[in-house]
Amino acid sequence: MHWSALSLAATFAISGLAPCAAFADARELQIEDQVFLLYATEMDRTQIRLGQLAADKAQDEQVRQFARRMIDYHKQSNARLMQIAQQYGIEIPQGVSPVAQRMQDELQGLSGPRFDYEYITSQVIYDYSMHYFYRREERHGLDGQLQREADQQAEHLREHRREAQRIARRLEPFPMRWNIAGVGEVVGAFGRGEGVEGVAEGLPEGLDGAPGGSSEQRLELGEGVLVLHPV
């Protein structure tokens, strides 16, 4: 299954990425795989930056430990992906998307339990959306190296999400509002023992990576439930 030009454009728009001139030189890597490579390396850079912020600002020890693990994991991931990019002569931008920068700026302005909660819930949502894109590359990508990388990392991302969920259950809940690259706008208020809905606009269909998945995705977060509605 190949990505259409429309779906590729939507991926760029959602992720805050722009096609780079290096595409013209990457004649051996198909456009579908180039899009994934740009997305994955941008997510690594974002997770490293957010992890560094959380390792410095978080009060909860489990949140700090989780952030340090995310820094180490995504540095290793980025190093592997950069090697693949170099093989194909692809120049990878080194910044982060406006969406990621805005999230970092908002987190920078928080402190204490509020920072801990909003960082860890952002990780739940980030890992949820990343899992979809990695599974899509593993199933529909055309480059064997990237397919193997996506397959391996998809399982790791699932475990990261589950760990972040376990931590979130311990923390004092706060209303949240994030715009997550790859998901869209996510709005929710999560209280202990409450099932409160959040809405994600523009969520890809079938988050398990298979086309035609459920139109409604429920994501347990803390002690509430985040309900994601594809549009």
In terms of residue numbers, what domain contains 61?
Answer: 5-166
Tens of pLDDT, residue by residue over 154-170, are 999 999 999 999 999 99
- What is the crossing angle of helices 61-87 and 144-170, to 10°? 170
At 55 the three-state DSSP class reads: helix
The pLDDT score that the predictor gives to residue 97 is 84
Domain membership of residue 197 (yes or no) is no
The pLDDT score that the predictor gives to residue 40 is 96
The pLDDT score that the predictor gives to residue 222 is 41
Q: Given a cut of 90, is residue 209 above it in pLDDT?
A: no
The pLDDT score that the predictor gives to residue 176 is 55
The Cα–Cα gap between 170 and 60 comes to 10
The pLDDT score that the predictor gives to residue 175 is 65
CATH number at residue 42: 1.20.1260.10
The pLDDT score that the predictor gives to residue 206 is 41
Number of structural domains the chain divides into: 1
Mean pLDDT, rounded, for 75-103? 92
Q: Which residue has the higher pLDDT, 226 or 134?
A: 134
Helix H, strand E, coil C: the string for 158-192 is: HHHHHHHHHHHHHCCCCEEEEEECCCEEEEEECCC
Domain membership of residue 152 (yes or no) is yes
- What is the crossing angle of helices 144-170 and 31-57, to 10°? 30
The Cα–Cα gap between 180 and 109 comes to 18
Q: Given a cut of 60, is residue 227 above it in pLDDT?
A: no
The pLDDT score that the predictor gives to residue 226 is 46
Q: Given a cut of 60, is residue 53 above it in pLDDT?
A: yes
pLDDT-derived band at 194 (thresholds 50, 70, 90) equals very low
Which are the contacts of 123, defined by CB distance < 8 A and separation ≥ 6?
Answer: 50, 66, 70, 160, 161, 164
Q: What angle do CA 144, 148, 165 make, to 5 degrees?
A: 150
Total H helices, total E strands in the chain? 6, 5
pTM for the full model?
Answer: 0.70
Domain membership of residue 190 (yes or no) is no
